[in-house]
A and B are shown apart, each in its own frame.
Chain A
Amino acid sequence: MSEPLLAIEGLAAGYEPGAAIVRGVSLAVKAGEIVTILGPNGAGKSTFIKAIAGLVPKFAGTVKLGGSDITRMPAHLLARQGLGFVPQTENVFTLMSIADNLRLAADILPKPERAAKIEEMLKLFPDLDRQRSLAAGRLSGGQRQMLAVARALIAGPRILMLDEASAGLSPKLVGQVFAKLADIRKRGITIVMVEQNAKAALALADRAIILAEGRTAHEGRSADIASDPQIRQLYLGLAPARGAA
């Protein structure tokens, strides 16, 4: 078996020492996979992904990306190491233009590559291309999410992590965003996504991990989880699967 791209061992994390919200979670993500992190409110999903992204203090455990230890790496260096992160809220610079949002992210690339990379992203998201100089604060919720994803992709990440990308979006927009994520995976980018919308997430992801009270409650292939009536009821707030064997 090949080495996982992202390997998390026994991660404990939280905002204040002695008050861990995530209490020893391990997760291995293989290159090219889409893994979704599910669980009830307050399970520590967001804290978990933010801790990986270097935004929440880690108390114990290790995080490895492509074999190298990134546990103590500050957030701004993680972006350069190929770890892209899209926060749930306030994930674009509202006072800056769309173009400047992308330029800012491209600034960590070598100078000659920047312009081409920005153009590539704008091609991937034609909606954004049409209004480059518009302040990002004036975008609709769905477009903002697209810009946030585009911003995270600019640095050419090996792995893209999203914190509830579907939150607050209409079902139609969720469909669009998730379709885009499927495209992105086809470009060889691994995806880890925290989701509330378990149904849509399980439909997209290869595997899922379910957190409850800061620990791993279940882990498995999306299809298996989606068809397990007990998990559906206990952790995902879904009705028992119809037509499931």
Chain B
Amino acid sequence: MNLQFIADGLIMGALIGLGAIGVTLTYSILRFANFAHGEFLAWGTYFTLLLTAAIGALVGGSGTLGALSFGWPVILAGVIAALLTGLVALALDRILFARLRQRGNAIVMVMASFGASMALRSLLEFLFTSEPKYFSRDIQIALPLGLGIRLTPDQLFLLLLTVILVVAMERFMTKSPIGRAMRAVSENPVLARVAGVDVDRVIRATWMIGAALACAAGVMLGITVQVRPFMGFDLLLPLFAAAILGGIGSVPGAVLGGLIVGIAEAAAVQVVGADYRAAIAFLILIAVLLIRPAGIFGVRE
């Protein structure tokens, strides 16, 4: 049996996991399922693409790092793009979600996020057309890792990046004051205020972090596959499935959920072909809701 699908699933799962962190944090802290989260992936990736081109034009050349298909311009662009994506999220909160939050109807926020998702995605389509774009057209040689598994240098780099981001994120949530405050607001916003937590600040941090990680996930997808306006929207169901599977509010849960969804998708492609790939996340979602709605690490539904 060819085990290559595990490697493919791992890559996909890693980026689903990164994206799902934002979903799970928004869900537990702002208390609504954000359908616009997928657009943060897409916007972050287009920002990175534009900035990479701008850096290339300014400095000249688009050098590559070692065996990777991209170089420091992409990395620098990605960091700036993560910030910009965070600002998009903050702006969206300012003009839309903050106003609805005061009315206290979570499901209206879900609906608004659905409208925002449609508008943001179509805006990308308007600006860049639905034509796919690429970070690099070079074909990479995959390195054999044994057991018949091969990974390209890009994929290895991205897996490593995911590990670093996830470990950093977990430490941030458990050790830093803002991470503690985020956990506190997620469990009990009233008590958090009593304890001196500035909930508005926690909300801003949640948007920035979720959007920045979404940007990272989007760029990973852009580098390993392609860049399209629908790239985030098409990933939305896997993101939700991963967040719910892992348990709402749990960062390690979101990542584990992402890996499970990614590997399950890749395995299913082996069995039923690629046509029904997108239905796997749906099946996992239904299974979780039936068997354990609180998810793996979750404490509440």
Direct contact between A and B judged by beta carbons closer than 8 A:
yes
Pairwise interchain contact A55-B187, C-beta atoms closer than 8 A: no
Pairwise interchain contact A87-B193, C-beta atoms closer than 8 A: no
Given the interface pairs A107-B177, A107-B181, the reply to whether A96 lies near B187 with Cβ below 8 Å is: yes
Nearest-neighbor residue (CB-CB) of B194 within chain A: A85
Q: Tell yes or no: A74 within 8 A of B by CB.
A: yes
Q: Roughly how many angstroms separate A80 CA and B199 CA in the complex, as a whole number?
A: 14
Q: Tell yes or no: A79 within 8 A of B by CB.
A: yes
Pairwise interchain contact B193-A75, C-beta atoms closer than 8 A: yes
Pairwise interchain contact B194-A95, C-beta atoms closer than 8 A: no
Pairwise interchain contact B180-A100, C-beta atoms closer than 8 A: yes
B41 → chain A closest CB, angstroms: 29
Q: Tell yes or no: B255 within 8 A of A by CB.
A: no
Q: Tell yes or no: A54 within 8 A of B by CB.
A: yes
Pairwise interchain contact A108-B188, C-beta atoms closer than 8 A: no
Q: Roughly how many angstroms separate A100 CA and B180 CA in the complex, as a whole number?
A: 8
Given the interface pairs A100-B180, A104-B180, the reply to whether A155 lies near B196 with Cβ below 8 Å is: yes
Residues 147-194 (chain B) with a chain A CB within 8 angstroms: 177, 180-181, 183-184, 187-188, 190-194
Pairwise interchain contact A95-B197, C-beta atoms closer than 8 A: no
Given the interface pairs A76-B199, A94-B187, A95-B299, the reply to whether A55 lies near B193 with Cβ below 8 Å is: yes
Of A80, A92, A104, the residue contacting B181 (CB under 8 A) is A104
Q: Roughly how many angstroms separate A155 CA and B194 CA in the complex, as a whole number?
A: 11
Q: How many A-B residue pairs have CB under 8 A?
A: 65
Of A74, A79, A93, the residue contacting B184 (CB under 8 A) is A93
User: CB-CB contacts of A72-113 with B at 8 A, as 1s and 0s?
Assistant: 001111011000010100111111100010011101100000
Q: Roughly how many angstroms separate A77 CA and B195 CA in the complex, as a whole number?
A: 9
Q: Roughly how many angstroms separate A59 CA and B51 CA in the complex, as a whole number?
A: 52
Q: Tell yes or no: A207 within 8 A of B by CB.
A: no
A203 → chain B closest CB, angstroms: 27
Which 5 residue pairs across A and B have the least CB separation, nearest first?
A: A79-B196, A108-B196, A75-B193, A107-B177, A76-B193
A-B contact pairs, 12 of them (CB 8 A): A53-B194, A54-B193, A75-B193, A76-B193, A76-B198, A80-B196, A87-B190, A87-B191, A91-B191, A103-B180, A107-B196, A151-B195
